[in-house]
Amino acid sequence: MLLYSITLTLAALLAPRAQPAGSAAPAYLPAAAVQKLTELLPPPVEALTEAEVYLTRAVQEDASAEARARAARAEPGDPLWDFAESMGPAFTKDNCRAIERFITRAQAAGDPINAAVKRKFNRPRPPGSGVESTDSYPSGHCVRAFLRARLLAELAPDHAESLYRRASTMSLNRVIAGKHHPSDAAAGMALGRAIAEAILAEAAANPTSGPATDLAAARAEWERLSR
């Protein structure tokens, strides 16, 4: 519970103020929205990096053996279906073709934004991460986790709290595994949710747009599965 609270607090501090293969994906976000999202996050505070290293070590030492094993298992990939724990047994690839299409296309819209932000800040990974790159901020896993959680919560609002808890655990895994600084995780959480909100706003503003059409199909599919 303490680790979950720390993760949510970091996300709040950094929160914005103010497709399956072969399918043709419509544009989900206009250029102006993309530009706004790439400018959303503040730069990482390099003066705090040493403190974050100590905080990460404390989180790792405090984590249970079960949490450390969970973080290690999560490293190879983060499939959408990991949210079945929150959505329930009907949430499977075979059942949720329209939902998968919607989420996959939303991720495709968000990936270039995340990549652009990573390039802008060029932050090295934490010491001992085993990753020699300068793409630490924000965490892509955390962007995906919170983008997915927000969009799934739009389809299943009664599962929202569980979805956000699940996404927070996924984000914390990146810190426990030592692959990201805590602020990388929090920034990814904030950016992922902001991208999802922008997609939902575009769908609401343009009812005949690609995201609106895909959202409607995903919502209808989930309503059918939930009966």
Q: What is the 3-state secondary structure (H, E, C) of 73-138?
A: HHCCCCCHHHHHHHHCCCCCCCCCHHHHHHHHHHHHHHHHHHHHHHHHHCCCCCCCCCCCCCCCCC
Mean pLDDT of the chain: 90
**Nearest by Cα to 87 from 187, 10, 191, 161:** 161
Residue 22 has pLDDT above 70, yes or no: no
pTM surpassing 0.75? yes
The mean pLDDT value for 155-176 works out to: 97
pLDDT band at 15 (very low <50, low <70, confident <90, very high): very low
CA 133 vs CA 89, 120, 186, 214: distances in Å: 38, 14, 19, 35
- CA torsion sign, 42 to 161 to 82 to 194? negative
The CATH code that applies to domain 2-226 is 1.20.144.10
Predicted pLDDT at 3: 47
Which tens digits make up the pLDDT trace of 174-209?
A: 999 999 999 999 999 999 999 999 999 999 999 999
Predicted pLDDT at 18: 37
Which tens digits make up the pLDDT trace of 69-128?
A: 999 887 666 799 999 999 999 999 999 999 999 999 999 999 999 999 999 999 999 998
Domain ranges of the chain: 2-226
Residue 131 has pLDDT above 60, yes or no: yes
Q: Which of the two residues, 88 and 14, has the higher pLDDT score? A: 88
Residue 11 has pLDDT above 60, yes or no: no
Whole-angstrom distance, CA of residue 197 vs CA of residue 176: 28
Determine what percent of the chain is predicted with pLDDT higher than 70: 88
